[in-house]
Chains A and B, each alone.
Chain A
Amino acid sequence: SVMELQAVVMAAGGGSRMMDLTYSMPKPLLPVGNKPLIWYPLNLLERIGFEEVIVITTKEVQKQMHIDTKMKLEMVCIQEDADMGTADALRHIQQKIKTDILVVSCDLITDVALHEVVDLFRAHDATLSMLMSKTHEFTETVPGQKGKKKTGEQRDFVGVDSSGKRLLFMANEADLDEELVIKKSIMRKHPRMHIKTGLVDAHLYCLKKSVVDFLADNKSITSIRGELIPYLVRKQFSASTNSQKTKNDSEKNQKKTDLKTPDEDLLDLAREKSCWNDHRGDMSDAYHGGKLRCYVHIMEDGMCYRVNTLAAYIEANRLVSEQTAQVGADSIIGAACHVSEKSSIKRSTIGASSCIKEKVKITNSIIMNGVTIEEGCSIQGSVICNQAVIGRGADIKYCLVGSGQCIEAEGQYLLHLSTTVM
């Protein structure tokens, strides 16, 4: 039967902004709410009805990944040290792509109604349709970080038209010198543009098959978010797009028989006879006659997190444990855990096979698998990674204890990072 969309999950590499966590555990397997991070986008895809997913990942992740899902996961492994960008990965699987694709990043946790994004893609016959969300402030203190969070994150400038759906402009602060430059051709076609800065890019993209074919011919593009998306957004208004180039592109990209072109003519005829226009005030046809269109769905409310920083990771855990009602109203305790008497666990996640002795107080923390916490400890706002041992009576506040670390007994740590830095 005919496939409408193919799902691709990018789970190779990443985590460069939270090396403290990811130096020993690959990002897709980081536990959030006692499930590996990659479970969340896969669950989203399964919930909305996908039956097959292509997962691009490394051998290491594939070995350790055990996801309980009914979907058929096709794992494509790439070399870990190949330093492949997301666009390179797409080029790698070009042969498997038979139709339009939905690309999702492995670190996306969201409850968006995906039909909003896909409907834009379908109804307007768009080349690109993506998801963005309003940023939420992170309220929790990040363990191991002294002082305020530096605004190292550079802002994204996103320009949309008056309907809020058509993506007109996208630029990152890093690429701009002092001024924001907007082409006249955009202003002529869309005199009213809203520029937004407080948006999070969910890294969820619907792309036409012709884009994948285009990537195969343009090997210089390595990253989807960094290079491909801004290129497509710019290309909407490039002078050459609206005349000849598209014909060449479409001839190049469409290896189908002539049956396709007269069909497209039929669709164009239907649109021409239709009394609808996406804008008014000038003499142009619908979409200003442009063939390349980019759309964005901006989520106003709801959950949408990209777990690519430590702060985001903690926030995600907190939210997920808020949403899942398991042991207690606000904590999740994993399988085969041993929690002794007089211990108190509040707003925390405890991983599998952990052992928590008596009189331990754990608040607002993330304890991963196989951790041993001796008696009398007090842990607050911290992240304790796999196989760590916290000695008796230790008092740990806002710290990050890396994998396999040992905290000495009676130690007092505040805003401390205990890891073996590679």
Chain B
Amino acid sequence: MAGTEGITQQELNNSTGETRDETDSRKNDYLQSKVEGKALSKEEKLKLRKEKKQQKKNKKDDKGPAKEEKAKKPVPVMDGQQAQQQRAPPTSPLVTPEAPPTGEKSGKSKVELRADRRARQDVDRTSKQGKKGDRSQLASTAKTKAPPSEPQPVVKRLPEHIQADDPAVLKKVAKKLERQQIPLRSDYGSKVSLFSHLHQYSRKAPLTQQMSIPSTVIHPSIVHLGLQYSQGIIAGSNSRCIALLHAFKQVIRDYATPRNEELSRDLVNKLKPYISFLNQCRPLSASMGNAIKYIKKEISNVSSNIKEEEAKTTLQNCIDKYIEEKIHLAAKAISKSAFEKISDGDVILVYGCSSLVNYILCDAFERGRKFRVIVVDSRPRLEGRETLRRLVKKGLSCTYVLITAVSYMLPEVSKVFLGAHALLANGYVMSRVGASQIALVAKAYNVPVLVCCETYKFCERVQTDSFVSNELDDPDDLIVTRKGKTELQNWQDIPSLRLLNLVYDVTPPDFVDLVITDLGMIPCTSVPVVLRVKNVDQ
């Protein structure tokens, strides 16, 4: 009992810093009475007690930064450091194995102990600079420990195709293409400054100009496809995707696994330069991107046990199944839902040429609905002419106007059907340029706008304006000759004149009343839910 009293008194005395000699002597007595085989000197014990108190104070400081740590590793190091702090003043190695201060580091290996000792000596060196410095050092080491263990803020890398004005990115792209032996397509004409971050190519300078004939690096069907994309012979989201899958089927058919390679890995590597080539011919659409992802996944899932021929047929069947499910059956399902929305006597407004909307209208007409269609068209593509031709061929009665007349036609319109190139994750609809205007005017006239889109076109991108990511078409398409005169023939000679030929624009979800997909009729804001469900499925 006397001993405990003695200790408490000593501690009190220590904290107050009074009558040190007395405490020392008492400590000595205590120690000598207590110690049996322990080689702790009185100074060491004093220092030990001091450090304990300091440690308690530091612990309070460190609880803050320590809470931020989620990784376990720094914590034991921290404690180790604290332990080292305690042991720092008594530098005799004898203390270490016999005095586990926090009781956590029992059973350390020699290497760890040596490391601890070294760290301890470093800390000791720094502790001589002053308590504050020491504390801050500890705190700063604690802080430097903390951020690496924090979950890194995810750094989003911008896709390369929207960084056409960054020379570093251009150099990187050029290097990559050189490695894949694909020529680099150079930009054409001066761009409007707002869109200078996008590429602008000329149709008269195809990529094949710089390639060898016959093409050896790239499979012939991919070269054909690239040419058809760049010349606009295959245009439209569904069409491009189907043509791409057809070309991939040819590639798979002609593929032979080289020795010491696995089909699952090698075929994916073979497809990479083809995709770069197609990207150079014309930027990939969202539907194509999703199809490519699917194919790559299917190829990587090919097990290495099965024979090559079997693997190839499986892959081709996968492609067929994808097209059947995602395009054909989806179109049928969407048409069925849309049929309920079309009533007799309706006046339906459509814009441009969407294969899906055409299918819906033709199907509804075949099933006996009586309605008429107003086809809205816009320069320079004038795709509405194709819609008009196909619908009239079927027997529908159509009206044809240019987009400038849309506000005159809307009072008689009962519904607007729009096709989509892609549906973005925040509910925005990416479609042909002009569709957002149609939706805007329709909203002003309180006409319902229905967007028809298959789920395979849903993409994870988020965009709120049409500037950040778009496609610039050939500016020479805007040049028109009337009565033998071509006013814009020498537009490049006028330095202050720029021609802009945009391809896509985004429509905010406030203007869209319903999205008809193969999963049903959903509001625009449910798109992220669909995406989430899709990812879970896959």
| A residues adjacent to B (C-beta < 8 A) | 1-5, 48-51, 113-115, 118-119, 122-125, 259, 262-263, 266-267, 269-277, 280, 283
Contacts and interface: CB of A to CB of B under 8 A. Distances in A.
Contact of B393 (A115, A119, A283): A283
B246 A122 contact: no
A273 B355 contact: yes
Nearest to B245: A266
A275 B383 contact: yes
Nearest to B254: A2
A266 B249 contact: yes
B14 interface: no
Nearest to B381: A275
Contacts of B219: 2
B243 A283 contact: no
Nearest to B238: A273
Given A2-B219, A267-B246, A118 B238 contact: no
Interface stretch (B36-44, B220-228, B465-473): B220-228
B206 interface: yes
Interface stretch (B26-34, B210-218, B518-526): B210-218
A2 B239 CA distance: 25
Given A270-B243, A275-B236, A122 B214 contact: no
Leading 4 A-B pairs by shortest Cβ distance: A49-B212, A275-B353, A4-B214, A4-B220
A115 B206 contact: yes
B243 A113 contact: no
Contact of B233 (A50, A114, A276): A276
Most buried by B among A51, A263, A275: A275
Given A4-B220, A123-B227, A118 B239 contact: no
B234 A283 contact: no
Nearest to A113: B209
A122 B220 CA distance: 9
Q: Interface size bucket, B side?
A: 35 or more
Nearest to B250: A263
Given A263-B249, A266-B246, A122 B239 contact: no
Given A119-B206, A271-B234, A50 B385 contact: no
Most buried by A among B209, B232, B246: B246
Contacts of B355: 273-275
A271 B353 CA distance: 13
Contacts of A263: 246, 249-250
Contact of B232 (A119, A259, A276): A276
A280 B233 CA distance: 14
Nearest to B221: A2
B323 A266 contact: yes
Nearest to A206: B213
B127 interface: no
Given A50-B214, A119-B227, A283 B389 contact: yes
Contacts of B192: none
A4 B222 CA distance: 11
B35 interface: no
Contacts of B238: 273
Most buried by A among B220, B238, B240: B220
B215 A4 contact: yes
Contacts of B224: 122-123, 125
Given A4-B220, A49-B216, A125-B224, A266 B242 contact: yes
A4 B208 CA distance: 13
A267 B228 CA distance: 12
Given A4-B215, A48-B213, A280-B389, 8 more contacts: A2-B219, A3-B214, A122-B208, A259-B253, A269-B242, A274-B235, A275-B386, A277-B386
B310 to A, nearest CB: 14
Nearest to A51: B216
A118 B213 contact: yes
B209 to A, nearest CB: 5
28 contacts: A1-B254, A2-B254, A4-B213, A4-B220, A5-B214, A48-B213, A49-B213, A49-B216, A50-B212, A119-B227, A123-B231, A124-B233, A262-B320, A266-B245, A267-B243, A267-B246, A269-B242, A270-B240, A273-B239, A274-B235, A274-B243, A275-B235, A275-B355, A275-B387, A276-B233, A280-B385, A283-B392, A283-B393
Contacts of B228: 123
B246 A270 contact: yes
A273 B208 contact: no
B303 to A, nearest CB: 23
Contacts of B323: 266
Contacts of A277: 385-386, 389
A118 B253 CA distance: 24
Contacts of A122: 208, 220, 223-224, 227
Nearest to A266: B246
A259 B312 CA distance: 12
Contacts of A262: 320
B196 to A, nearest CB: 29
Nearest to B231: A123
A124 B250 CA distance: 18
Contacts of A119: 206, 208, 227
Contact of B234 (A1, A5, A51, A274): A274
A48 B212 contact: yes
Contacts of B249: 263, 266
B233 A123 contact: yes
A209 B209 CA distance: 24
A289 to B, nearest CB: 12
Contacts of B353: 275
Most buried by B among A4, A119, A272, A274: A274
Contacts of A124: 233
Contacts of B212: 48-50
Contacts of A5: 213-214
Contact of B214 (A49, A266, A272): A49
Nearest to B319: A266
Contacts of A118: 208, 213
A5 B352 CA distance: 38
A271 B239 contact: yes
Contacts of B250: 263
Contact of A276 (B213, B386, B387): B386
A148 to B, nearest CB: 38
B213 A270 contact: no
A2 B213 contact: no
B167 to A, nearest CB: 29
Interface in B377-428: 383, 385-387, 389, 392-393
Nearest to B237: A273
